[in-house]
């Protein structure tokens, strides 16, 4: 762990998938509170069809068995991310808004 990184002070855990000795997918998440957990990031090599789904499924199965819900973060209005998020049949989604202070 790099000096000054302080990863040991976080409650986050991660996972990765190695293919032929090379990291091809990784993810990072942590408990939001008692339930749910939140997935902060998830990256996979798109050349491997289905790898995003596998890293998500395996991470939830091996690290978060005791939790009912997983917060998959926002889709940023990107159609592909929204479609992927909806494919998991979410319990509910919350519309986010930006609030700015008047000058």
* 70, part of any domain: yes
Rounded to 10 degrees, what is the CA torsion of 97, 73, 70, 63? Answer: -150
* 68, part of any domain: yes
CATH of residue 23's domain is 3.40.630.30
* 16, part of any domain: yes
Predicted TM-score (pTM) above 0.85:
no
According to DSSP, the residues that pair with 1 across neighbouring strands are none
| Per-residue model confidence as pLDDT tens digits over 2-42 | 555 566 777 888 899 999 999 999 999 999 888 889 898 89
According to DSSP, the residues that pair with 27 across neighbouring strands are 15, 42
* 95, part of any domain: no
Q: What gap in Å lies between CA 7 and CA 13, rounded to an integer?
A: 9
Q: What is the mean pLDDT of residues 35-60?
A: 92
| Per-residue model confidence as pLDDT tens digits over 70-99 | 888 777 777 877 887 777 777 877 777 788
Number of domains in the chain: 1
Quote the pLDDT of residue 32: 85
DSSP designation for 48: S
Range of the domain at 51: 7-74
The answer on pLDDT for 1 being more than 50 is no
């Amino acid at each position: 762990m790099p000096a000054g990184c302080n990863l040991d002070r976080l409650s986050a855990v991660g996972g990765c998938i190695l293919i032929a000795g090379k990291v091809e997918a990784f993810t990072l998440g942590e408990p939001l509170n008692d339930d749910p957990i939140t997935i902060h990031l998830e990256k996979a090599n798109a050349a491997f069809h289905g790898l995003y789904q596998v890293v998500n499924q395996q991470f939830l199965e091996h690290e978060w068995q005791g939790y009912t819900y997983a917060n998959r973060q926002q889709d940023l209005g990107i159609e592909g991310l929204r479609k992927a998020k909806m494919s998991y049949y979410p319990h509910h989604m919350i519309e986010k808004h930006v609030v700015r202070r008047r000058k």
